[in-house]
Structure 1
């Protein structure tokens, strides 16, 4: 899908959550770049870097830096580098989530205190911390995006602990949109349908979710990372200047079906 040339020309953006070239964040980064944005990308650790570096090269990223949100100081170092490089930030994409495997594959009522806390910290509160550091760099306004899923709204078999976590993420997004709106900063959530990414492969019986989406969605097909990137590009652009506090579904209409 061709992005409108120059739609994001002159804008600077941060993309967090690229795992490899098949990840949702990679699809968004490629769309942002095609629309003219200058980008900073992050990788989790040295083991992950070789999988992220090709994406950073493909989009001509100005910055590629480590970011493990559980490591104190890394996020602050990242935003200091962004300020030094550009002096501002126009948009960011938060596309990270985590749950310990035992908690992810078990019932919500059996989740451990530690596991539930880690899932909330990595998947939700990291977005809050990111917003706090980004706010001073968005002096002329901006847009913050995070990534949710339909399991935040309805019970989805095998999504388990990530359902309550994503529900908390969407609520947090709405409160952030209210708090940051007077500064011209918009906050929205993307909610893609099931996409075959490395992160999604950790969900039990994920193949079943894929088949249900294909057969029940009005469009009878899965959304792609390119579809998500196209909508993300629109949302961070000035064309969506009055869109905030919104959950934007990219699922072929699956969420409207009973």
Structure 2
């Protein structure tokens, strides 16, 4: 039984307005400027929202969480300010956004209006952490073993209620060293149920609780009284 539901995504940025101008068309969303200088990217449901929040820290290392997007080709993303990073034989192109965060671009003949394909999380044990989140959301985990097309094993789910994209957890050798610049928010009736399942409380705020999953990925939990 699910103990939380997906709420929205959050993206750290040194310049939220500039990053909003890049990410809104890249994700097929519209931009709403907020009074505090942050921006929100909006789509057809509240779960499509991406909050772009100002932080002082720049990108210093490869992001442990990145976004995969649909596009008509890499050129349109480059024109918005992306930088090519890894162009090879794989069916996607790796780029950096204007602040140095990685993203993968999948070229499609027919590009959907909503362009976020996957949220990808580097993991020490992709199956274990994907299973943990699948249990949290009431989803079904699936596994892919390493092969010639993809030399990393990964696990994913695509049936979390309200989540408008897939979540993919891929095995990587390097450990987590810094705070993730992309995280997700959840709604739950009881934060303690997340803690009992294996999450760790990092900070408590009047309107939300910051937690980490068993691999240290930060997320925020909101309860009905919030």
- The normalised TM-score by structure 2 is 0.32
- The normalised TM-score by structure 1 is 0.29
Q: Which structure dedicates a bigger proportion of its chain to strand? A: 2
Q: Which structure dedicates a bigger proportion of its chain to helix? A: 1
